[in-house]
Amino acid sequence: MSDKPRLWITRKLSDATIARAERDYDTVVNHADTPGSADDLIRASAEFDAIIPCHSEHFSADVARQLEPRLKIIANHSVGVDHCDLPALRARGIAVTNTPDVLSDATAELAMLLMLGAARHAVAGDRIVRTGAWDFWSPAFMVGKQVTGARLGIVGMGRVGRAFAAKARGFGMDIHYFNRSELSPEDAQGATWHSSVESLLGVADFLSLHCPATPETTNLMNSGRFALLPQGAVVVNSARGALVDESALMAALDSGQVAAAGLDCFQTEPGGNPGFAAYDNIFMLPHIGSATTATRDAMGFRALDNLDAFFAGNRPGDLL
């Protein structure tokens, strides 16, 4: 019997991550790559010392109450931890970590793709060319919204928000942000702070959401807040689906208050919102913000770094 800590990896992580895990731990990988159910998590807690889950595994308060004492640490393969009831897990003495920093650039790149694609009719343009329907041109054909020099509003200037702002500066955008507190001049890099979301929305020709999903931010963008945007604004969400009231977004698109949206996350995942399919001015991707090879390796290694520290008797660097 191995004297290494026993580890369950709930999803198919990168090859490099699995190789390192199998070297250093008594590792079992869910090669079927299906989400772990509540029953799976409870059963695993009797068999494993550690779990590396993804955002697809939900450690609710009810699940936390039923976890066996053997499980000592949950090393999330994600930055967001809204799938974990942290107080309930702490009450059971289970350490919880995440993987910050390493996915900021990949997610910011994807947010830029969403913003550009939404602004320049990427969905309709691709469809027209792909189906052979492109048989017309005019100066009025598919005129979009220019990004260069426009005002960009960012909600949440954490790591990803700042990485997105850095990329937006390359387009000469006038950057404004709402954050719980004003950034230092070094971090703000000339961006203008707004003390309320409402103040920010009034200047956001483009709006990009980069805040976590919490009870306070659920349906952050509702009908009232969409109405505060400049007419014809573009909305981007690469953070969490819970931030956007999807019915209110469709109503804002129908009225022209919002010209287009770029979405990488949805209230229902996987699957998304079937109603969005009718809108050529919604550019959608299936929650792949961090999906680059380099970032997946870095996320897996960060989770393993946290496990290594924990089992060496040290405080993990990303302990929550």
Active site residue 210: no
Q: Say which amino acid occupies 61.
A: A
Which of the following is catalytic: 23, 70, 269, 315?
269
Long-range contacts of 42-45 (CB under 8 A, 24+ apart): 42/66, 42/67, 42/68, 44/8, 44/71, 45/70, 45/71
Which of the following is catalytic: 6, 287, 296, 302?
287
Neighbouring residues of 211: CB distance < 8 A, sequence distance ≥ 6: 155, 156, 158, 161, 217, 220, 239, 243
Q: Say which amino acid occupies 188.
A: A
Which tokens go with 243? 């931030």
* DSSP codes joined into one string, 111-143: HHHHHHHHHTTHHHHHHHHHTT------TTTT-
Which of the following is catalytic: 20, 151, 162, 240?
240
Question: What SS3 class is residue 35?
Answer: coil
Report whether 110 contacts 268 (CB < 8 A): no
Neighbouring residues of 78: CB distance < 8 A, sequence distance ≥ 6: 54, 55, 98, 99, 299
Element (H, E) at 92: none
Active site residue 269: yes
* Rounded Cα–Cα distance for residues 40 and 235 (Å): 38
- The residues annotated as belonging to the active site are 240, 269, 287
